[in-house]
Amino acid sequence: MTTHSRRSFLTKSALSGAALGTLGLSTASFGQGLETAVNHAPQASAPSDLKITETKCGYIRNGHSLFVKIYTNQGIWGCGEGVDATPGTYHLVKMFGERIKGKSPLNVNRLFEDIRRAGFFEGAQSGMFVAVLSAVETALWDLAGKALNVPVYQLLGGKFRDKIRVYMDTALYQFKLPKPEQFAQSASEAVKMGFTAVKFDLDQANDPNKYDAYNWTASPGELQRMYDQIAAARKAVGPNIDICVDMHGRYDAITGKQVAKMLEPLKLMWLEEPIPAENPEAFRAIAEETSTPICAGENHYLAYGFRRLLEIGAVDIIMPDLQKVGGLGEGQRIANLSNLYYVPFAPHMVASYLGAMASCHVCASVPNFLILEWQTYFHTDPMFKEIVTFDGNMVDNGFITLSEKPGIGVEINEEGMRKYATPGVPFFA
């Protein structure tokens, strides 16, 4: 109801009340309940009149984290995030913003397709185009939820769970040449914090046992180092804690097979990207020779990128990054596709708490969710609490409680983010 029509309605009500007064009826309470309800009704026009007016963005972490805000004619905005494949994409964001300007943000899937189809010859199949589209699409879901006063999971069809299990990425980076005892300590600390699953990196570019910087085949010394590190972690936490291992796609197929077989006695939750993402058949060759579950997906884009992996049984678990793969709707489509093959869905997540909670809405909305990635830097780097605003705790005993607020439930804090902004790039302008 517009301000003008509201004033007219109340004026007519007052005149009616005056008429009743001339009949000797009390006007003290006439229409007060209705007047109160009208005064407390939203000032904005109907959702059908909601239009996008502007799209702005900001970057941190040298451009590897993109934050988007989409504004409307009703003072409602939506927030989204993209990661990794985002440096240098400011003008891409602005181009996408122009393509959706003046349109209703409630048609999220339609706007996603409008942008994607318009970019067939601009790189819309993967990479930066899709990572930026992920941020824009997520902001549209946030905006739609706020406009309709429901959390995003409700727009995605409802929820299967209220809490989202996360694993702790320990960030025990191999370039520091950590010892097995450090793996044991890091795993134990995560368990003390309440996590029931941890992840470690095994790729070590400066391992003195490497043959050379460009040879992807692990030497016997490298293999022994890998085994000793994960064996120490397993001994420290016992058999009931899940351990995930990431190789970041930096080895060849023969090494992938050797590592997968070698680690079988340690009962991993998964071995992640032992080889680069491009060759599904090579992933299948590894998966067929081991009982260690093989996981991939953070470097695949859109649902199309997962079709072949699933069709030929190349992986046991998929892990799309929802801030990179195409957004929340695309993430749900990928999860549903994998569910047809009885493959668990365990999203990769290296974003802020905005990206984490956005991912949680998708994880809640699908039956085959397994676990979501969680970063140790949320506990150690104050930036990650300064750049967003939210209610409650980030995580409790290895679980994120799903937000029930309209939209995603986490907001961008522009002022908190400003001091971390990437130099030389416009900041929310």
Whether pLDDT at 143 is above 80: yes
Mean pLDDT, residues 104-133: 97
**285: part of which helix (H) or strand (E)?**
helix 280-287
Question: What tokens does 264 get?
Answer: 């079988």
Q: Are residues 221 and 334 in the same domain?
A: yes
* Residue 428 belongs to some domain of the structure: no
What are the DSSP calls for 388-410, one per residue?
A: EE-SS-S-BTTEEEPP-SSBSS-
Provide the CA 403 distance to its chain's centre, in angstroms: 14
For the chain, give the percent of residues with pLDDT over 90. Answer: 86
Rounded-to-integer distance, Cα 222 and Cα 109, Å: 47
**3-state secondary structure (DSSP) of residue 257:** helix
Q: Are residues 174 and 306 in the same domain?
A: yes
Rounded-to-integer distance, Cα 116 and Cα 396, Å: 38
Between the alpha carbon of residue 105 and those of residues 51, 76, 116, 130, the distances in Å are: 7, 10, 16, 19
Residue 6 phi, psi (nearest 5)? -65, -45
Q: Are residues 99 and 232 in the same domain?
A: no
Mean pLDDT, residues 368-396: 97
* Residue 70 belongs to some domain of the structure: yes
Domain boundary at 121, 150, 179, which? 150
What are the DSSP calls for 194-229, one per residue?
A: T-SEEEEE---TT-TT-S-TT--SPPHHHHHHHHHH
Domains held by the chain: number:
3
Mean pLDDT, residues 254-275: 98
**3-state secondary structure (DSSP) of residue 30:** coil
Q: Are 412 and 418 in contact (CB under 8 A)?
A: no
Q: Are residues 142 and 169 in the same domain?
A: no
> What CATH number has the domain bearing residue 124?
3.30.390.10
Rounded-to-integer distance, Cα 220 and Cα 226, Å: 10
Burial of 388 (0-12, 13-18, 19+ CB in 10 A): buried
What are the DSSP calls for 305-330, one per residue?
A: HHHHHHHTT--SEE--BTTTSS-HHH
Model pLDDT for residues 28-37, shown as the tens digit of each residue: 444 455 454 4
Please give the pLDDT value at position 37: 43
* Residue 62 belongs to some domain of the structure: yes
* Residue 412 belongs to some domain of the structure: no
Question: What tokens does 155 get?
Answer: 């727009």
Model pLDDT for residues 188-236, shown as the tens digit of each residue: 999 999 999 999 999 998 899 999 989 999 999 999 999 999 999 999 9
Q: Are residues 63 and 182 in the same domain?
A: no
Please give the pLDDT value at position 16: 41
Give the end-to-end CA distance of the chain in Å, rounded to a whole number: 32
Q: Are residues 258 and 274 in the same domain?
A: yes
Sorting pLDDT into bands at 50, 70 and 90, what band is 22?
very low
Q: Are residues 3 and 81 in the same domain?
A: no
* Residue 425 belongs to some domain of the structure: no
Model pLDDT for residues 272-321, shown as the tens digit of each residue: 999 999 999 999 999 999 999 999 999 999 999 999 999 999 999 999 99
Burial of 162 (0-12, 13-18, 19+ CB in 10 A): exposed
Mean pLDDT, residues 156-178: 91
2 is in which domain, residue-wise?
1-25+34-39
Burial of 417 (0-12, 13-18, 19+ CB in 10 A): buried
Rounded-to-integer distance, Cα 168 and Cα 196, Å: 8
Q: Are 411 and 79 in contact (CB under 8 A)?
A: yes
Q: Are residues 267 and 284 in the same domain?
A: yes
* Residue 418 belongs to some domain of the structure: no
Whether pLDDT at 340 is above 60: yes
Domain boundary at 150, 174, 189, which? 150
Q: Are residues 217 and 344 in the same domain?
A: yes
Please give the pLDDT value at position 205: 87
Please give the pLDDT value at position 348: 98
Model pLDDT for residues 70-99, shown as the tens digit of each residue: 999 999 999 999 999 999 999 999 999 999
Neighbours of 273 (CB within 10 A): 26
Q: Are residues 121 and 254 in the same domain?
A: no
Whether pLDDT at 6 is above 50: no
Rounded-to-integer distance, Cα 201 and Cα 170, Å: 9
Q: Are residues 290 and 334 in the same domain?
A: yes
**Alpha helices in 119-193, H assignment, sequence order:** 127-148, 152-155, 180-192
Please give the pLDDT value at position 10: 37
* Residue 415 belongs to some domain of the structure: no
Q: Length of the chain, please?
A: 429
Sorting pLDDT into bands at 50, 70 and 90, what band is 47?
confident
Q: Are residues 126 and 8 in the same domain?
A: no
Please give the pLDDT value at position 9: 35
Question: What tokens does 403 get?
Answer: 């937000």
Q: Are 156 and 328 in contact (CB under 8 A)?
A: yes
* Residue 417 belongs to some domain of the structure: no
> What CATH number has the domain bearing residue 254?
3.20.20.120
Which letter does DSSP use for residue 56 in this model? E
Whether pLDDT at 21 is above 60: no
Mean pLDDT of the chain: 91
Domain boundary at 150, 180, 210, which? 150
